Structure 1
Amino acid sequence: MIIVCQKPLKKLKINGIALFPFIFIRKPEDKENKILINHEKIHLRQQLELLIIFFYIFYVIEYYYWFFKLKDRFLAYRYISFEREAYAKEKDLIYLKKRRLWSFWKYVGKP
């Protein structure tokens, strides 16, 4: 995991994004934000499990599925199984030590 502070993220209205093997964050002080970093580390694990490319394919497909169903960008993003797992477990800083393989699967298809 490599944490990089990127100014272009300021225009995207996001605090962080995981693009294996990097975690890009908007503000330098967010390097100390353990919850944000843990959220992004969960995404890195998900990406590895799906051999990176399949993570992105599934992520986009799931986003559009929810977007067409809900007609709301933010809700579509929040309903993506990868995001649901990451948001549900981001405060559990030891989650990745006990997380089982493909744990995101239990969030698939459920609002």
Structure 2
Amino acid sequence: MILISKYIVPRGFVGVALYPFIFLKRSELKQDVFLINHEQIHLKQQKELLFFFFFLFYGLEWLIKVVKYQNTALAYKNLSFEREAYLNEGNINYLNNRKFWAFINYI
């Protein structure tokens, strides 16, 4: 389910996935099929990792990458979850063929 909330979506982002919802900053973003696909990939990741473990691993990996790159934006772009989502957001059929725990391939 897609909801609109400029307060839930962090500054600098246009969408965020919090299973089972996708929150977008503006209603016209519902038309962006690549953004929606990107967030749906995150929903699948969250479901696979039972939500809690997704955010635990996401946070730990982000901390490690911040130390490694000394840059929060670069750390974010290099998270395995984000790499999978960004590299496959243009493939609308990706979720139909995605293997279980596919984000492991992007570490």
- TM-score w.r.t. the length of structure 1 is 0.93
Q: Give me the whole-angstrom Cα distance separating, in 2, the residues matched to 1:33 and 1:71.
A: 32
User: Secondary structure of 1:12's partner?
Assistant: coil
Q: Deviations over 1:22-62 (max 9, x none)?
A: 10001100011000000000000000111110000000000
Q: Superposition RMSD on alpha carbons, in Å?
A: 1.1
Residues 63, 11 of structure 1: CA spacing in aligned structure 2 closer, same or farther, 3 A cutoff? closer
Please list, as runs of the form range in 1=range in 2, the aligned pairs for 1:98-109 lying within 5 A after superposition: 98-108=97-107
The match for 1:79 is: 78
The match for 2:25 is: 26
Letter in 2 for 1:58: F
Q: Give me the whole-angstrom Cα distance separating, in 2, the residues matched to 1:9 and 1:49.
A: 23
Q: Are the aligned partners of 2:9 and 2:23 in contact in 1 as well (CA < 8 Å)?
A: no
Q: Which runs of 5+ in 2 are unaligned?
A: none
The match for 1:42 is: 41
Please list, as runs of the form range in 1=range in 2, the aligned pairs for 1:50-61 lying within 5 A after superposition: 50-61=49-60
Structure 1 residue 7: Cα displacement: 2.0
The total of aligned residue pairs comes to 107
Q: Which runs of 5+ in 1 are unaligned?
A: none
- TM-score w.r.t. the length of structure 2 is 0.96
Letter in 1 for 2:43: L
Q: Give me the whole-angstrom Cα distance separating, in 1, the residues matched to 2:88 and 2:80.
A: 12
